[in-house]
Amino acid sequence: MPNLNRLLAGLPAEDYERLLPHLTPVTFSLGEVIYESQGLMEHVYFPTTGHVSLLYTMVNGATAEVGLVGNEGLVGIALFMGGDTTPNQAIVQGAGEAFRMKAAAMQEEFRRGGAFQLALLRYTQSLITQISQTAVCNRLHTTEQRLCRWILMTHDRVHSDDLQMTHEFISNMLGIQREAVSIAAHRLKNKGAISYARGRIRIADRGSLEECVCECYQMVRDEK
Amino acid sequence: MPNLNRLLAGLPAEDYERLLPHLTPVTFSLGEVIYESQGLMEHVYFPTTGHVSLLYTMVNGATAEVGLVGNEGLVGIALFMGGDTTPNQAIVQGAGEAFRMKAAAMQEEFRRGGAFQLALLRYTQSLITQISQTAVCNRLHTTEQRLCRWILMTHDRVHSDDLQMTHEFISNMLGIQREAVSIAAHRLKNKGAISYARGRIRIADRGSLEECVCECYQMVRDEK
DNA sequence: ATGTTTATGTGCGTTGGCGCACATAATGTA
DNA sequence: TACATTATGTGCGCCAACGCACATAAACAT
């Protein structure tokens, strides 16, 4: 169940079989850069057990994440949206496996206009919802709520209660200070929602996290 | 030049002529709701002189804009992305004209896979960039920078230096207090960038606005 | 075993924006 | 003309987050 890409898995057998020869398994290692901002994109990636952050970097070096892609989607939507670069960076946030496909092969299948095209467009719509909700959430919700949301979203894409990530890393995703992450994490620890130490966060009580999180989490989840 | 939709205008004559019978001119009045959140969408709209805000509303009533659509794009992308509702509201922010097209007719043309499909997908990609940049901007930039960006983006979509909008309205777009808008606007007035009074803002010196604005403005503009 | 690097904790002064309560002034209405 | 409504100005206390400076402690390297 976890070891597949849900977008691919939802295709009719006929379409899937046509794709199969073009799918190459690859391994994502933590922190690996899949796409550089403005860099040339040559493949799309269908994560299975790995997952990827879509990141923007400002001229002063500040960063913030706009979306998270796991086995529900694919990385590289610009390649069928009529571009060959993206303005954002894509980096591996959870190590694991993915299938890779050459841009040209993907585009050829996309142009057939069948179930594959539909699935890709549907996913893109749900990603738009995720990014939009992030925009609103960044403006209207507290650090603690946003941290909860991010942990829950990550948890949904990792098949474990143990997440490997430092406060520093999270601060770059949420676009906040490292210290602010430590403080918010400490509060969540006091509530019994999580525990953590040196680059490891354990989800102790998902229910507590769901109580703290803002509505944005459910909104995006329901859309899928 | 202003009285057309650039997305439609960029199509080859052949494709455009096929669309023409399906395009009905409509008038957008200020504040008109084009789509309600989760409401059924029956048409797409190609603005010519009007423009539209894409808005999210939280359960507590707070609102924030994620995107702005003028004659460079269309309203209702969900209809070709495989949905028939959107999670956001679309409201008229600048009164004016648009062409309307029935969802079914648009979808039929979209499925042909030609220039029309390409244009729609390209535009969707640029909208994704806009929304992403909004997400990051909301997190990392000051009220004054965001106000500048919003005024400039609006100015680009209105064919006049006079904008009709109250501070209250702007506060709902930016997701901030009305008072915060008044204060930031006052600063811009002192710099000679704008002047304003009772629901009217005049762009006095675009250059000054461009000096105050964050990089997000150019990023989104260049993407187009 | 020791020193270095990395991850987190903590305090403190500053600031930007919020929530609120009003004041002022322009516009609309009877 | 008088009164209500709407738009903007302003002040004040409050709080969350920032920027910075460190302290502490675990993990790693030699």
pLDDT tens-digit map of A127-181: 999 999 999 999 999 999 999 999 999 999 998 999 999 999 999 999 999 999 9
| Average of per-residue pLDDT across A12-26 | 96
The terminus-to-terminus CA distance of chain A in angstroms comes to: 18
Return d(Cα B203, Cα B184) in angstroms, integer.
15
Task: Specify the pLDDT at position B186.
Answer: 95
pLDDT tens-digit map of B17-56: 999 999 999 999 999 999 998 889 999 999 999 999 999 9
- Of the candidates A81, A113, A124, the beta carbon closest to that of B113 is on A113
pLDDT tens-digit map of A26-64: 999 999 999 999 889 999 999 999 999 999 999 999 999
Task: Specify the pLDDT at position B103.
Answer: 96
Q: Measuring CA to CA, how many Å separate B145 from each of B174, B214, B217?
A: 11, 6, 10
Give which of B56, B132, B141, B171 to mutate to test A binding, by max A Cβ within 10 Å.
Answer: B132
Return d(Cα A101, Cα A108) in angstroms, integer.
11
Percentage with pLDDT > 70 across chain B: 99
Read off the tokens for B130: 């806009």
Read off the tokens for A201: 């966060």
Task: Specify the pLDDT at position B16.
Answer: 95
From the CB of residue A145, how many other CB atoms can be counted at a distance below 10 Å? 18
Q: Number of Cβ pairs closer than 8 Å across A and B?
A: 117
- Of the candidates B111, B133, B136, the beta carbon closest to that of A113 is on B111
Task: Specify the pLDDT at position A224.
Answer: 64
Q: Which of residues 193-222 of A touch strand C (CB under 7 A)?
A: 196-200
Q: How does residue B173 score in pLDDT terms, banded at 50, 70 and 90?
A: very high
The CB-based long-range contact list for A82-87 (8 Å cut-off, 24+ gap) reads: A82/B118, A82/B121, A82/B122, A82/B125, A83/B122, A83/B125, A84/A40, A84/A41, A85/A38, A85/A39, A85/A40, A85/A41, A86/A35, A86/A37, A86/A38, A86/A41, A87/A37, A87/A38, A87/A56, A87/B129, A87/B132, A87/B133, A87/B219, A87/B223
Res B89 pLDDT > 60:
yes
Q: Chain A residue with minimal CA distance to B129? A: A87
In strand C, which positions have an atom below 7 A from any protein CB?
6-11, 16-21, 26-27
Task: Specify the pLDDT at position A3.
Answer: 76
Question: Looking at the whole model, is its pTM more than 0.85?
Answer: yes
Res B1 pLDDT > 60:
no
Return d(Cα A223, Cα A221) in angstroms, integer.
5
pLDDT tens-digit map of B186-210: 999 999 999 999 999 999 999 999 9
Query: Whole-number Å distance, CA B46 to C1' C28?
Result: 35
Task: Specify the pLDDT at position A182.
Answer: 96
Q: How does residue B222 score in pLDDT terms, banded at 50, 70 and 90?
A: confident
Give which of A69, A75, A131, A222 to mutate to test B binding, by max B Cβ within 10 Å.
Answer: A131
Task: Specify the pLDDT at position A2.
Answer: 57
Return d(Cα B40, Cα B91) in angstroms, integer.
15
Res A201 pLDDT > 70:
yes
Task: Specify the pLDDT at position A206.
Answer: 95
| Average of per-residue pLDDT across B107-128 | 96
pLDDT tens-digit map of A72-113: 999 999 999 998 889 999 999 999 999 999 999 999 999 999
Percentage with pLDDT > 70 across chain A: 99
| Average of per-residue pLDDT across B103-111 | 96
Query: Whole-number Å distance, CA A104 to C1' D14?
Result: 57
Give A162 to chain B, closest Cα distance, Å: 28
Query: Whole-number Å distance, CA A70 to C1' D11?
Result: 50
- Contact: B175, A134; criterion CB under 8 Å: no
Query: Whole-number Å distance, CA A57 to C1' C28?
Result: 50
Q: How does residue B224 score in pLDDT terms, banded at 50, 70 and 90?
A: low
- Of the candidates B81, B113, B174, the beta carbon closest to that of A125 is on B81
Residue A54, strand partner residues: A67, A90
Q: How does residue B84 score in pLDDT terms, banded at 50, 70 and 90?
A: confident
Give which of B60, B81, B126, B216 to mutate to test A binding, by max A Cβ within 10 Å.
Answer: B81
| Average of per-residue pLDDT across B216-223 | 91
Q: How does residue B2 score in pLDDT terms, banded at 50, 70 and 90?
A: low
| Average of per-residue pLDDT across A109-124 | 96
B-chain CB neighbours of A131 within 8 Å are 128, 131-132, 135
Residue B99, strand partner residues: B25, B46
Return d(Cα B89, Cα B76) in angstroms, integer.
10
| Average of per-residue pLDDT across B142-159 | 95
Q: Is the CB of A31 under 7 A from strand C?
A: no
DSSP state of B5: -
Q: Is the CB of A180 under 7 A from strand C?
A: no
